[in-house]
C-alpha cells in the first residue's frame, strides 16, 4: 500500500493512475458501484502498478462520476408541482 492510500484525510494531489483502494477513496463510491463500472467497461483496471498492482486512470474515474451524476440529474423531476 502506498503512502497516499494510508492517509485518512485528503491529499494535496491525486495521481494520474490509482490502485483500487485509492480509486474508491477518490470517488467515494461503494465497492458495488466500482464493480458495476468495471462490468460496464467504464473503469478498467490493469496490472501495471508497482509489483503488478492493478491500477486505473484518474480520467476514467472522472468520466464515470460525470456520467453517474448526469444520470441522476436527468432522472430527477423538478416540476412545478402541476
How far is CA 6 from each of CA 1, 16, 21, rounded to the nearest angstrom?
7, 18, 10
Lowest-confidence segment of 10-14, 22-26, 27-31, 57-61 by average pLDDT: 10-14
* Confidence tier at 82 by pLDDT (50, 70, 90): low
Q: Which residue, 10, 37, 8, is CA-closest to 20? A: 37
Structure-block grid coordinates of residue 7: 492517509
- pLDDT mean over 2-9: 54
Residue 13 confidence (pLDDT): 84
Amino acid at each position: 500500500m502506498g503512502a497516499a492510500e494510508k492517509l485518512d484525510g485528503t491529499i494535496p494531489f491525486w495521481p494520474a493512475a490509482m490502485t483500487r483502494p485509492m480509486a474508491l477513496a477518490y470517488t467515494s463510491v461503494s465497492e458495488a458501484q466500482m464493480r458495476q463500472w468495471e462490468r460496464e467497461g467504464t473503469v478498467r483496471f490493469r496490472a501495471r502498478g508497482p509489483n503488478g498492482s492493478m491500477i486505473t486512470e484518474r480520467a476514467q474515474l472522472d468520466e464515470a462520476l460525470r456520467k453517474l451524476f448526469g444520470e441522476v440529474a436527468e432522472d430527477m423531476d423538478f416540476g412545478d408541482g402541476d
